[in-house]
Amino acid sequence: MPDNTPASQPYALENPFLESLNLTIVEWQPDLVRMSLMPQAAHLNNTGVVQGGILATLLDAAGGYAGLFPENGVRRAATTISLNVNYVSSAQVEPLLVVGRRVGGGRRVFFSNAEVTDSQGRLIATAQAAFRRKDPA
C-alpha cells in the first residue's frame, strides 16, 4: 500500500465518511489512538455548539481505531457492537482532541474507552464501546 499521506499525518483514515469531517489521526500505536477535529459550521446544531452526533462519531471512531493498529502492515476493520456515550459539556468551535484506548478483549471482539476534550483540556464527552474485528481482505 503506497503512503501518500503528508508527513504531519503518518496514518490515513481510509474512511470516506470520517475524512469528510476533516478528522485526522495525530498519533496511532497499539491500543491507543489520538485524533483531532476542528469543527466547521456544518458540525454545529441550531444553538451553535457541536452536534451530539458528531461527538458520538468521534468517540466511535477513536474507540474502533484504538483496537485496529495495523499489524505487519495489514489494515483491518471492525464493526461497532455497542456504543455508550456520556455527554459532559458542550463543545464550542475550537480544536477537539479525541483519545481512544483499547481496554480489553480477544482476537475477534475488543473493548475501548474514548473521550473528547477541548483545546483547554476540558472534558466534553466519554464513551465505552465494543467492536467486532472483520477478517482481513
Neighbours of 48 (CB within 10 A): 10
How long a stretch of residues is the chain? Answer: 137
- CA distance linking residue 94 with residue 39, whole number of Å: 7
pLDDT at 7: 39
Q: What is the pLDDT of residues 77-124, one digit of tens each?
A: 999 999 999 999 999 999 999 999 999 999 899 999 999 999 999 999
pLDDT at 1: 33
Please choose, from the candidates 55, 59, 17, 28, the residue with its C-alpha nearest in 3D space to the C-alpha of residue 39. 55
The CATH number of the structural domain formed by 16-133 is: 3.10.129.10
Q: What is the pLDDT of residues 34-72, one digit of tens each?
A: 999 999 999 999 999 999 999 999 999 999 999 999 888
Set of cell numbers at residue 28: 496511532
Please choose, from the candidates 13, 81, 103, 92, the residue with its C-alpha nearest in 3D space to the C-alpha of residue 55. 92
pLDDT at 75: 85
